[in-house]
C-alpha cells in the first residue's frame, strides 16, 4: 500500500471508532424510562359523549347492573381432540349443566371464522359431545381451530342468540 492509501485508511478507521464510541456514550447516557413513561392507555376521543343528565347515568348503571346479574356462558371442553383420519375426532365439548340455555358449537379452521369445519345441533345443559365428525377433513398434523359456543334462547317463538364466546382448541391428526 502507498503511504497516501495508509493515511486514508487510518483516517477512516479513526472516524469509524469515533462514531462507534460516541453512539455508545449516547446509549449509556439515556436514562431508564420512569414509571410515568411506561405504556399508558389514552382516553377515547371519537364516538364518546358526556352524560350530563344524572337520571340518564343512573339508568345506564341500572341496565349494566341488571345485565351483569344475567348468567354467563359456562364452558366445558378438553383442549385437545384426536383423530386418525382427519374427519372423526374423539373429544369432549359440551354444555355444562349449570348453564341456563341450550347451545350449539361451530368449529372453524381459520381465525376469521370463514372456513367452517363443523356445526352442531343444540345441546341441552348437561350434554356433551365425545365424538364429532367434521364436514371437511384436516391434514395429518396438529391444528389450532376456533370453537364457537353459542347459547340460544327462544323468544316469541323464535330462536335468538343469547350469548357467544370463541376459544381455541388443538385438533391432532395422526
Mean pLDDT of 82-111: 96
In this prediction, residue 26 has a pLDDT band, given cuts at 50, 70 and 90, of very low
Report whether pLDDT(32) > 70.
no
* pLDDT the model gives residue 27: 47
CATH architecture of residue range(s) 73-173: Sandwich (2.60)
Mean pLDDT of 22-45: 62
* pLDDT the model gives residue 8: 60
The larger pLDDT score, comparing residue 169 to residue 23, is at 169
Mean pLDDT of 121-140: 97
Query: pLDDT tens digits for 78-96?
Result: 999 999 999 999 999 999 9
* pLDDT the model gives residue 63: 77
* pLDDT the model gives residue 53: 77
Listing DSSP states for the chain in one string gives --HHHHHHHHHHHHHHHHHHHHHHHHHHHSPPPPGGGS-------SS------HHHHHHHHHHHHHHHHS-----EE-SEEEESSSSEEEEEEEE-TT-SSEEEEEEESSTTS-SEEEE---B-TTEEEEEEE-SS---SEEEEEEEEEEEEEEETTEEEEEEEEEEEEEEEE-
Report whether pLDDT(165) > 70.
yes
Q: Taking the complete model, does pTM exceed 0.85, yes or no?
A: no
Query: pLDDT tens digits for 53-73?
Result: 778 778 877 777 776 677 678
Amino acid at each position: 500500500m502507498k503511504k497516501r492509501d495508509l493515511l486514508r485508511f487510518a483516517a477512516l478507521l479513526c472516524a469509524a471508532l469515533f462514531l462507534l464510541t460516541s453512539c455508545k456514550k449516547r446509549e449509556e447516557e439515556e436514562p431508564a424510562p420512569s414509571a410515568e413513561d411506561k405504556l399508558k392507555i389514552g382516553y377515547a376521543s371519537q364516538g364518546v359523549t358526556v352524560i350530563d343528565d344524572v337520571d340518564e347515568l343512573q339508568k345506564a348503571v341500572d341496565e349494566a347492573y341488571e345485565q351483569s346479574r344475567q348468567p354467563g356462558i359456562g364452558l366445558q371442553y378438553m383442549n385437545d381432540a384426536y383423530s386418525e383420519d382427519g374427519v372423526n375426532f374423539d373429544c369432549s365439548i359440551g354444555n355444562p349443566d349449570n348453564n341456563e340455555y341450550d347451545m350449539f358449537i361451530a368449529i372453524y379452521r381459520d381465525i376469521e371464522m370463514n372456513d367452517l369445519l363443523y356445526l352442531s345441533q343444540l345441546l341441552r345443559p348437561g350434554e356433551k359431545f365425545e365424538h364429532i365428525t367434521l364436514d371437511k377433513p384436516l391434514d395429518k398434523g396438529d391444528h389450532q381451530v376456533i370453537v364457537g359456543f353459542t347459547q340460544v334462547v327462544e323468544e316469541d317463538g323464535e330462536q335468538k342468540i343469547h350469548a357467544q364466546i370463541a376459544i381455541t382448541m388443538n385438533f391432532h391428526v395422526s
